Each structure stands twice: as structure tokens, then as C-alpha cells.
Amino acid sequence: MTGGAAAPVAPDAPDRSRRGRRTLALVGNPNSGKTTLFNALTGLRQKVGNYPGVTVERKEGTLSLGDGVSFGLLDLPGLYSLTPASPDEVIARDVLLGYRRDTPRPDAIVNVVDASNLERNLFLTSQLLDLGLPVLVVLTMGDTAERRGVRVDAASLERTLGVPVRALANGRGSGMEAFRAALAALPDLPPPPSRRWRLPEIAEQEAEELSGLLQRHHDLAPAPAFAEAVALLATPENRSQDLQRWAAPIRAHVARDREVLHGAGIDVPMAVTEARYADVERIVRGAVQRAETPPVTVSDRLDRVFLHRFWGYAIFLGLMYVIFQAMFSWASYPADLISAGVDWLGGTVARALPDGDLEDLIVNGAIAGVGNTVVFLPQILLLFLFIALLEDTGYLARAAFLMDRLMSRVGLHGKSFIPLLSSYACAIPGIMATRTIESPRARLLTILVAPLMSCSARLPVYALMIGAFIPDVRVLGVFTLPALTLLSMYVLGTVAAFGMAALFNRTLLKGEAPTFLLEMPPYRRPSFRTVLLQMGERAWLFLRRAGTVILSITIVLWFLASYPKAPGASSSEQVRQSFAGRLGRAIEPVIAPLGFDWKMGIGLISSFAAREVFVSAMGTIYNVDEDSAEDEEKLTLSLGEKLRADVNPQTGRSTFTPLVAVALMVFYVLAMQCMSTVAVVKRETNGWKWPLFQIAYMTALAWVVTFIVYQGGRALGLG
């Protein structure tokens, strides 16, 4: 389930004629400070997309070093080894070896190494040195290493490795100038010296023979040819697809070599790992000094609290509540300013244009529809701010460790926590993040339940309903009811995700949860530059979506709600008789048991394009649904006030009530109202089977639970 990756090709030598500048690849283990360094080097001169044919993120930037010197900088996905175990590691390896036609092989490698975990990081360094490209090693986390009683001698490490080594303080400040100077000279350096590690004699001979074949049949240089030969011999037989890119003589030679080595009792993967780690140990002994008694670090002390069996969970829930409370209290002021700006713009345009369909389209369609969605931008940005801060400080890894105790009971992997938490922001990157999960079963299970986590696109729906119908009162004298209501929506989505995972684990996807191994990064001061860059990127994506998808749907919806014209009819009757009204009334029998009327039905249908479109749809419907004879004050009511004032003409009762608002939020928690997510699931699972299943089960779940909430509330007299 790698998402339709481009077929690999035989590697090419770096072809600089295909591009106007040299490219450096930034490579390192996860949590090594690679992303912080990338942001520090490129700033706003970067772009984010996906590699063609796959959903693995591609980050590129421009590295300007002064005096007219600039390079392209490619931030590859974090990986522990060039023997890939997940789709993102496959991409990183293929780029470094030049297997992807869409990405020329880089001219040099910048290897980011965590000085506080030198042994583990240098295993990847050992592999990179064998590729025949110039390498610059940059040491990060030096301050963390010193707090652990570890001192790394960069000069000694440089002499041993035979490549330049520079030390940085978390990618910022001290050492940056020397590092930038080393970057400027990097592409013109010679390749690293010949390798220091050796395989058992028979394995060494077979690898040399295979390397010669690769050079003859595929025109590989000696260094990458030997590296690929070792990788082919060490690749498990169940990954035979890796052989398909090579000529028939090579495939036959690999099969014969495996038989010979197996007969000689040589486990090639184990032999390679042992040889590399033996060399790493020799390097570390000469370059590292350790305190006799490792000190108890601040991270150790904090972990005693944050990973406590009781206090760890209490702190996690407390943090979640603080986040949701802040999203209401802090976001209210900028949201009010945006709302006032939208009202001013609508009023200004209305006064400038003559009455008619054009004025109605622009004011009540485009401006009202998009404006009612953009007003929730501050809350969405705050959500991304908190997630970025938790990740940058190292707390998210602790939360993943805590949640693994619960997740393993429902068949989920501990690595599923980060994709599921990412889905609070958006299910699309959350589903993409499952590529780091090695187990195909655990990965599919995570994909199936990730959309149940309440994403930021649902936030405008929650904020509209809570702001309009949930009173701002205190509970137990400490908590506020709106914040608790919002928290309950996120809790409902999380409980539903865990519950469905447990069900699927016992039925469709039976199996045991795989073992979860997690490296705990040290607690560190967040890089506010990195956090702000991420927030700016998300703000732009949201505004671009508002200016394209939401605007387009709003215009179409205005047309459907305004035509065909019903001469002499009131505005309410005009909307009812329109194309949109007819569509809403057609599905009303299905949604009426949930407390929804035909206007809400229009919003539900519209929001299949994007969940937040529900708000703009309601804004358009309720702006079109106004009599021109109404006074100016009525016309400028907020959308929430219009929803509270709406009355069903047949029953004389309010269309929206607190119970209906809660039922509507519950429906949006559980329903699959996002076609973009469906498309990503289709790409990640290589077909329509699982996305169609996902739509079916989530829609059924949403209808049943919403029915129980609404009808149960009415039975209790809450309607």
C-alpha cells in the first residue's frame, strides 16, 4: 500500500544539464533536528508538495550562501537505514541512489546527526558514506549530549570519517557560519574514502562480483554499485519487487548468491549490520567521552511525571482542555475583527452596486459564503500552533508512548498515535503519516479510523453551533460549557476511532498489534521560527481553499438557491422552490429523524466537497432567504443569530435548537464528509474497495448515533 509509487529505474549519474543549479540532500534520523535545520537554512524560500505518483511529502527550498552562491536543498523523509521498511524510506533511498526520474540524484549529502544518540545515527552515516557522493556531517543536539554527560570531539570524528564534520546548537546560533562555509564547498569535495567495514570473505567476494555486474549492465559507478549489491544480497526474499528494476543476469546472480551464502551459513542482513555497528563502535570510542556516572537530566525528571501511570494521562487530558479553551477565548477577538471586516466589505459592495442578481451573487453569495468560513481562521491557526509546539518540545513522543498502552488493546500500533493526532488538524496528512508504520495491517487499520478524529475542517461547524446555541456558563466553577462541549466532540471522535479499530481488529483485520519501539527525543525549547512557518503554511492552504473550493461551491449554491425564479413568492418560498430547495426536500425524509430539515440537508450535501463548506452553505442560504422589505438591522444579523431566529413555518417551532445543534455536531464527528480524504485513501490503498467501505460504515455510524442522540434527547424532554 505505497500509494502508486513511480516505477523505479536504473540509476543515473547526476545530470546537471537537467537543472540550473546543484542540489544538496538533507538526510537524517527522525527527531535529529533535520526539519529545524531545513527551516533555518531556507526560511520562506521553500515549497511543499508530494512526490509524483505517491503521497509522500516533498520539501524543497533555496539555500542562499552569499556571493551569488545558492543551492537547491531537498529535505528527505527521516529514516534510520537505507534498507527501507516503509514507503517514505523507499522514497528517500530511491532519491539518494538516483532511481526516480522526477528527482535527479543530488550532488552531495548533508547528514544531520544527533550527537546525543551518536551510535544509532552513525549507522545511517555509514551507509551514506558508501554512495560515492560528497558528505557533510552536521552534529546537532550537542547541548542535550552534554547534559547527559556525553562530549563529542568533532575534529576527531572528522579525521576518522574522512569527511567534514560541523557542530551546531539545534540548528541555530553557534557554529552556523562555519557550517554555511562548509556547505558552500561541499559539492566540489571528493567522495568519502573507501569503506572501513568488511563482510565475511565469501560474502565480500559475492558482493564484489555482483557490483561488477551492476557496473557493466547499468553503468553504475563503483561506490553506489557495491552499496546496491550489498543491499540486494541483504534484502529479504519477500521484497522481490526490488529486483525487478535490474537486468536478468543480475536477478539470476542474486538468486544464486543467496543459495551459496545460505549454504555457507551466512545471514547477510545480520552480517552487514554487525560489520557496520562494529565500525561505528570503533569510531565512537575515539570521538566520544562519557561521564563515569551519567547525570539525571531534566528530561529524566520530567518523564517521571509525564509518563506516570496516572499523572501522565491527567496531564494529557488537561493539556487538551487548555487547548480547546484557548481556541474559544483567544480566538474570539481576531474572529470578531474578521467578522466585522466581512460585514464592512459586504455593506460597501452592496452600496456600490445596483440592486439585482449580480449584487446578490457577490454580497450574499461570494462574500457571505466565504466570509462565514474565513472568520474561523484564528481557531484553526491556534490548533496548528498547539500541535506544532507539542511536537517541537518532544511531548508528542511521550503522548504516543502513553497512548500505546490503550491503542495496543484495540489492535492499533503505537506509531498510529502520530497519524491519528495529525488527523485532528487534517485527516489527509494524518493518513499520509501512516507510511511510517511497517505493518500493512496496522497501517490499513489506522487509515480506516483516522477520519473519525475531528479535523480542523469540522471546527467551523462546531464553533458556529456552540457559539449560537451553547450558553457561556461555568461548570463546577472552573470549566466553561462551550469548551467542554468542544472537548466532548473530540473525545467522541477519539472513542469512535478506538471502538471501530477494536471491531475491525476482531473481524475484518484480525491480528495482534505489532511491537512498538519508540525513541524518546529530549525535551527542548521549541523553534518559534519553525512553528510560525508551519502556521503560515497552514493559513495559506486554508485561505487558498477558501478562495477556490469554497468560493466555487458558494457560487454554485447561490445559483441553485436562486433559480428557477418564483415570481411573487417570498424569499423563503423562493429558496424552497429553487433547485437547492428541491434537492434538500428530496433527502429530508432520510434526515428528518435526526432533527434536520431540508436547509440543513443542502448543507450536508454541499459539505461532501469539504466539511467547512456547511458554514458557507448556511450563510448563502440564510442570506438569500431574506425579504428585501426587512429592515437594515435584520439583514446584518450574524449567521448564528439568523439560525436562532429561524422558525419552521409548518410547526411554528424553532428550526435550530440546542439539541439539534448537538445532533448536527455529532453527525459531523462521525460522517465521512470530505472527498479529498476519500481520494487520498484510494491512493494509499491502491483501489476503491477501502474508501467505499469507509464511506459506507462512517455514514451508517453517523446516522445511527445521531438518531440515538436526537431521539433520546427528545424522550428526555430536551427537544
Q: What is the DSSP string of 271-308?
A: HHHHHHHHHHHHHHHHHEEE-SS----HHHHHHHHHT-
**Spatial contact of 705 and 488, defined as CB atoms under 8 Å apart:** no
Q: What proportion of the chain, given as a percentage, has pLDDT over 90?
A: 17
Q: Which of 224-238, 585-599, 630-644 has the highest mean pLDDT?
A: 585-599
Single-letter amino acid, residue 306? F
> Helix, strand, coil % (nearest 5) of the chain?
65, 10, 30
From residue 252, give the alpha-carbon distance in Å to each of 44, 224, 235, 264, 573: 49, 20, 15, 19, 76
Which residues make Cβ contacts (< 8 Å) with residue 94, sequence separation at least 6? 8, 100
The answer for 171, left when phi > 0, alpha when psi is -120 to 50, beta otherwise, is left
* Predicted pLDDT at 45: 58
Name the β-bridge partners of 139.
Answer: 113, 167
- For residues 718 and 493, give the distance between their C-alpha atoms in angstroms, rounded to a whole number: 23
Between 635 and 193, the higher pLDDT residue? 193
Element (H, E) at 27: strand 23-28
Q: Does the structure show a pLDDT above 50 at 50?
A: no
Q: Does the structure show a pLDDT above 70 at 56?
A: no
**Spatial contact of 400 and 417, defined as CB atoms under 8 Å apart:** yes
Question: Can you read off the three cell numbers belonging to residue 31?
Answer: 527527531
- For residues 468 and 485, give the distance between their C-alpha atoms in angstroms, rounded to a whole number: 13
For the chain, the average pLDDT equals 80
Between 536 and 204, the higher pLDDT residue? 204
Least confident of 182-186, 406-410, 597-601: 406-410
**What is the value of pTM for the model shown?**
0.60
Question: Can you read off the three cell numbers belonging to residue 90?
Answer: 523507499
Q: Does the structure show a pLDDT above 90 at 164?
A: yes
Question: Among the residues of 563-674, which ranges form H helices?
Answer: 571-577, 579-591, 598-606, 613-624, 632-635, 639-645, 658-670
**Spatial contact of 179 and 166, defined as CB atoms under 8 Å apart:** yes
Q: pLDDT digits over 260-312, tens only?
A: 888 888 888 888 888 888 989 998 988 888 877 777 777 778 888 888 888 98
* Predicted pLDDT at 47: 54
* Banded model confidence at residue 44, pLDDT cuts 50, 70, 90: low
Q: Does the structure show a pLDDT above 60 at 711?
A: yes
- For residues 137 and 159, give the distance between their C-alpha atoms in angstroms, rounded to a whole number: 12
Q: Does the structure show a pLDDT above 70 at 51?
A: no
Q: List, edge to edge, every strand of the sheet that includes 69-75.
A: 46-50, 57-66, 69-75, 23-28, 108-114, 135-140, 165-167
* Predicted pLDDT at 618: 85
* Banded model confidence at residue 161, pLDDT cuts 50, 70, 90: very high
Least confident of 19-28, 225-234, 618-627: 618-627
DSSP 3-state assignment of 579? Answer: helix
* Predicted pLDDT at 507: 86
- For residues 136 and 158, give the distance between their C-alpha atoms in angstroms, rounded to a whole number: 10
Strands 23-28 and 108-114: parallel
- For residues 277 and 333, give the distance between their C-alpha atoms in angstroms, rounded to a whole number: 56
Q: What proportion of the chain, given as a percentage, has pLDDT over 70?
A: 85
Question: Dihedral of the CA atoms 224, 226, 228, 234 (nearest 10)?
Answer: -150
Question: Can you read off the three cell numbers belonging to residue 301?
Answer: 525528571
Q: Does the structure show a pLDDT above 90 at 693?
A: yes
Name the β-bridge partners of 114.
Answer: 140
Q: Name which of 714, 380, 394 is nearest 543 in CA terms.
A: 380
CA 184 to chain centre: 32
Q: What is the mean pLDDT of residues 435-452?
A: 83
Single-letter amino acid, residue 175? G
DSSP 3-state assignment of 249? Answer: helix
- For residues 495 and 508, give the distance between their C-alpha atoms in angstroms, rounded to a whole number: 19
Q: Name which of 687, 711, 699, 709 is nearest 452 in CA terms.
A: 699
Q: pLDDT digits over 347-387, tens only?
A: 898 889 888 888 878 887 788 767 766 776 787 788 778 87
Q: Does the structure show a pLDDT above 90 at 48?
A: no
Q: Does the structure show a pLDDT above 90 at 250?
A: no
Half-sphere exposure of 270 (CA within 13 A, CB side): 5
Between 345 and 408, the higher pLDDT residue? 345
Q: Which of 230-244, 344-358, 538-552 has the highest mean pLDDT?
A: 344-358
Q: Does the structure show a pLDDT above 70 at 513?
A: no
Q: What is the mean pLDDT of residues 221-225?
A: 84
DSSP secondary structure code for residue 521 in this structure: P
Q: Does the structure show a pLDDT above 50 at 101?
A: yes
N- to C-terminal Cα distance for the chain?
47
Q: Does the structure show a pLDDT above 80 at 113?
A: yes
Between 673 and 308, the higher pLDDT residue? 308
**Spatial contact of 421 and 384, defined as CB atoms under 8 Å apart:** no
- For residues 565 and 549, give the distance between their C-alpha atoms in angstroms, rounded to a whole number: 26
DSSP 3-state assignment of 137? Answer: strand
**Spatial contact of 247 and 121, defined as CB atoms under 8 Å apart:** no
Strands 165-167 and 135-140: parallel
Which residues make Cβ contacts (< 8 Å) with residue 573, sequence separation at least 6? 566
Q: What is the mean pLDDT of residues 178-196?
A: 88
Strand boundaries in 123-202, DSSP class E: 135-140, 150-152, 165-167
Question: Dihedral of the CA atoms 702, 705, 706, 707 (nearest 10)?
Answer: 120
Count of residues making up the chain: 719
How wide is the angle at C-alpha 91 spanned by C-alphas 447 and 383, nearest 5°?
45
- For residues 680 and 56, give the distance between their C-alpha atoms in angstroms, rounded to a whole number: 11
Q: pLDDT digits over 460-511, tens only?
A: 889 889 988 998 888 887 788 988 898 899 889 989 998 998 899 888 877 6
Three-class SS string for 90-132?
HHHHHHHHCCCCCCCCCCEEEEEEEHHHHHHHHHHHHHHHHHC
